[in-house]
Every structure is written in structure tokens, then in C-alpha cells.
Amino acid sequence: MRIGLCAWSFTDSHREAGLSPDPHSAEGLAQLALRWGLHSIECSPQFFAGQSPAQLKDFSASLADQGLGLVLDTGGHDYSRDISPLRQTLELAARLGVRVVRTTISNVVEGDRRSFGLEGWKAYLERLIGPFRQQMMLAADHGIWVGIENHQDLCSWELRWLCEQVDSTHLGVTMDCGNALSVGETPLAFAARVMPFLKHVHLKDYTVHPTPSGYRLKRCAMGAGVVDWPALIGAFDAGAPQVQGCIELGASVARHIRILEEDYWATFPPRPLAEAVNALRTLHQAASPAEEDWRTPHERGESAQVRAEYEIAQLESSVAYLREKGLH
């Protein structure tokens, strides 16, 4: 798997601390990717706001000269109300020569869809089918793949169903590896189910911290957490060898997955009991000691310098791990 770098591995701490390069600029992110021998960058269309067609062409050519690919990320939107953010990103992607766009379909996190309810969540997903079908015609015209990410909201059964309903080879899945655990699935089981639809991968790991109602998932370097990377990347290479990934080190606040609360499960479709047990076993076996601090430096109120150094150290450690294991 060819591996790149996602901007959401970082916060604005680097800019706040006056550090260079700034990973929340396209140029700065590219510098970091090259420094660590990575093959692509992933960022928001907002990184290119106000740029002329000539500037976009020059940046695209510069990336190509340096051997870097580019993935665009729309962020999270309710596409049942307004599909224009995806359309605008596809249009920008076409101008930049981008072949993969990552998107999310809600602002739900932590697997908590309880505000929707079971029927409300089903109805919401059904309302997405028409808008996505319409935009996949534009994606097909420009040869662009769109990957819907499991942004701690969708389980693998739902992602498969949505892709099947839209019925376009240009729509598929951006699998966030660590986020599978947020919806009660193991990363390997999630990957196996979405593999025929896989367009892109977010390489994210978590340490696991138990609570009375479930577990907190805290960002960490690849190889320092719960994900079995040799097995998972091996599965991607065997099942979808053309798909590339990006290191995305995750949110600066720990995610509380209330998987031990009964109504956590109420909005998810039925699943084999063994799969739920496997996910719970994985979380249980990876759990850190109760006294271990689950907070990130961002949650502890550390300085911008400390926060930025924490983020860079996790990137450095991730790349070192991938090289050690022969995965990069």
C-alpha cells in the first residue's frame, strides 16, 4: 500500500506556535509528507480557497514533479439537504487532477446515533441515495472515486447498503481503520465487508481506556494501539491492491464509545452475536490500566509548542513503525 499524510493528523497548534511548515496549508503538508517519505497528501478544498486556475495548475504540477498524489476531503455534511459541497469538491478535484475524494455524511461521532433513533437513522440514509446518484454522474465524467468514510457513524453493513443503492462504481468507502471499533466492529471484520467497495483508507490507531459505560479511544502513533496493522494492511494489499491510504492520527480529544450502554446498540442493524463479542473482546484485551491518563496534551491544556511536538512525534513514530514492519 502506498501511504500518504492527512491534514487532520494535526491541529492549528503549529500555526499558533509559529512553527514551520504549517500542516494546515497544502504546501506545508506536502513538505511534511516529503520529509517522511510519504506518497500523497489529503486536505480540505479550503486549502485552495481564492486560488486562480493557473495557481491550481501550478500546484498540481509541483506535486506531480515531487511524486506526490492529492486527495480532497469535503468534511461532514447533510447531503440530503444540500449536495453542493460534494459537487464543488468534485469540480475542484477535476481542476487539480485528483482521483479520490473522501467525504462523510454526518457529524455523528462516538457511534452515538441515539438522537436519530433507529427509524430516523434509516430514513436519513435513504434520503442520501438520490443526491449521491446525481453526483456520481459528475464523478464518472471526471474519473473520480468518492469514498464515504466511517466517521464513527456508519457501520460496515450500512456503508455496503448505501453503496449498493447508489449503484455506481465511482462511489465506495474510505475506511477509517480505528473508527471500526466505534461502531462495535473489529477493523478486520469491517475491512472484509467493505473490501469490494474500498476506494481509500485512513490509517488510524487508538489506545483504549475503560470507563463504566464503555471505552475512551485516544489517538496514538500507529503500532502503539489496538489495531493489528500487519494483518490489516495485508488484507488491503490482497483484497484491494490498487487502494492507497493516508496516515490520519485522529482527533485531539479522546472519543468516548458508550458501547456498554444498552441503548448504544438500538440504532444499529442486527448483526451476528459473535461479531459484537469479538469487538468487545478486542477492546477489553487492549484496555490500558484504569489509572493511565487518557487525555491528550490538548485536553490537558498544554502549550501550542507541546501540542505541536506531540503531533509530530506521533507521525515520526508511525512512519518508523511502518518501515520496521515492512509495511511502507
The count of structural domains within the chain is 1
Determine phi and psi for 262, rounding to 5 degrees: -60, -40
Q: Is residue 291 part of a domain?
A: no
Q: Is residue 286 part of a domain?
A: no
Q: In the chain, which residue ranges form alpha helices assigned H by DSSP?
A: 13-16, 26-35, 53-65, 84-96, 118-142, 156-166, 187-194, 229-239, 273-286, 304-324
**CB burial of residue 315 (10 Å; 0-12, 13-18, 19+):** buried
Q: Is residue 212 part of a domain?
A: no
pTM, entire model: 0.97
Q: At 266, which amino acid appears? A: A
Q: Is residue 192 part of a domain?
A: yes
Q: Is residue 282 part of a domain?
A: no
Q: In 97-176, which residue ranges form alpha helices assigned H by DSSP?
A: 118-142, 156-166
The CATH number of the domain holding residue 62 is 3.20.20.150
Cβ atoms of 257 and 206 closer than 8 Å: no
Domain boundaries, position 196: 3-206+219-253+303-324
**Cα 307 versus chain centre, distance:** 21
User: In angstroms, rounded to a whole number, what is the distance separating the alpha carbons of residues 78 and 76?
Assistant: 7
Q: Is residue 211 part of a domain?
A: no
Residue pLDDT tens, the chain, 328 long: 999 999 999 999 999 999 999 999 999 999 999 999 999 999 999 999 999 999 999 999 999 999 999 999 998 889 999 999 999 999 999 999 999 999 999 999 999 999 999 999 999 999 999 999 999 999 999 999 999 999 999 999 999 999 999 999 999 999 999 999 999 999 999 999 999 999 999 999 999 999 999 999 999 999 999 999 999 999 999 999 999 999 999 899 999 999 999 999 999 999 999 999 999 999 999 999 989 999 999 999 999 999 999 999 999 999 999 999 998 7
Q: Is residue 140 part of a domain?
A: yes
Q: Is residue 290 part of a domain?
A: no
